[in-house]
Amino acid sequence: MAVDELITSAPAARRAPWRDLRPSVEHVGPNWYASVMGTGIIATAAATLPLVSAQLHVFAQVVWVIAVLLLLGVTVAVVAHWRRHPQHARSHPADPTMAQFFGAPPMALMTVGAGAILIGKSIIGPRAAVDLAWVLWGAGTLGGLFTAVWVPFLLFTRHEVSHDGAFGGWLMPVVPPMVSAATGALLVPHVAAGAARTTLLYGCFAMFGLSLLASLIVIALIWSRLAHHGSSGTPRVPTLWIVLGPLGQSITAAGLLGTNAELAVEPHLASAMNVFAILYGVPVWGFAVLWIALAGALTVRTVRRGLPFALTWWSFTFPVGTFVTGTTQLAVHTGLPAYRWAAVLAYAGLLLAWLLVAVRTARGSLRGELTRRPAPTGHVVAYKG
């Protein structure tokens, strides 16, 4: 399935007769877990948001429950897809576009797991929340480490991609370890003091580096593609926002690891890790703001020319959510009001994007528009102008 086939299925479905728009699991893939990620981050970002987190507590609880239900629903649909259409399901790894989205399920698990610690404890109780977080973090971490190796290996050895093929989706399989680092930091206080706690902290830092360096390579490739070939018109433009994912999540991870370092390492190391959260986070935050400006300008330009709805619109949610949580961590570590207000402002934009995408996804799913076979089209030709 070409990238344009994956993300332009909704318009083709709208042109089909209503009787053909029956909900189906035939074309449900790992990309559907992006809806869980995008919903879960709304809850987790609200739980720690400066200035207004207390007022958003009930809202965060409701959204986290929705994310849990979405996780269960999408998982049931994917299992049904494998049972009823195994040949189609087995074709996903061979597809150079769909294969990238195998990174979404691990991140969806860990996003809900982070919500369990931050929000779920007031719903299901502290002990059950921590146990749930451990299960989801463990499964997500193992899955994420696997996709970080397996999907790039497929890209290097099997997938045929064009010279202008780099897109935001290439980040999906390598970002999960960064989510593991951030969520693992939340679990550090829940490990017995000693070698186990210290090992978890350093393990999270190792996954931080694994994901960061791989992401920087991919971001450079995306920048190069944009410089040499343009934005390729409408289909891939929303995926440009995925670049914010590793940027915002790395700032979040550095902040959370710095905060909890004092529980696991000697004071001088903990102090250094706290300083690192600022020395790393502030410059990367600056680049993230630059990318928001660039991606925003390209998105507006594309919307004016016509941007059809598709599941890639979820790229407007989770990556922006990590920017919110990263900004929140900078507010915590620097104490600056500017970061507090920047986090609140970014969250307001995130909330509007989530409401728009969630409504469009619900409508498209109920009508079957997002689960029908994409209409065959040609390769997306990159161009400028």
CA distances from 281 to 250, 257, 275, 332 (A): 8, 12, 10, 12
Amino acid 84 reads: R
What's the rounded Cα separation, in Å, for the pair 296 and 215? 20
Q: Which residue has the tokens 């990263």?
A: 326
> CB-side exposure of 22: number of CA atoms within 13 Å?
4
Task: Tell me the average pLDDT across 175-199.
Answer: 97
pTM value?
A: 0.90
Q: Which residue has the tokens 């992006």?
A: 34
Q: Work out the mean pLDDT of the chain and round it to a whole number.
A: 90
CATH: 3.90.76.10, 3.90.1150.10, 3.40.50.300, 1.50.10.150. Which one for 3-7+24-366?
Answer: 1.50.10.150
Extract the tokens encoding 261: 């370092």
Domain boundaries in the chain? 3-7+24-366
What's the rounded Cα separation, in Å, for the pair 245 and 6? 21
Question: pLDDT confidence of 232, banded at 50, 70, 90?
Answer: low
Task: Tell me the average pLDDT across 63-77.
Answer: 96
Extract the tokens encoding 51: 């200035």
**What tens digit of pLDDT does each residue of 310-344 get?**
888 899 999 999 999 999 999 999 999 999 999 99
Q: Contact, 96 vs 165, CB < 8 A? A: yes
In the predicted structure, residue 356 carries a pLDDT above the cut 90:
yes
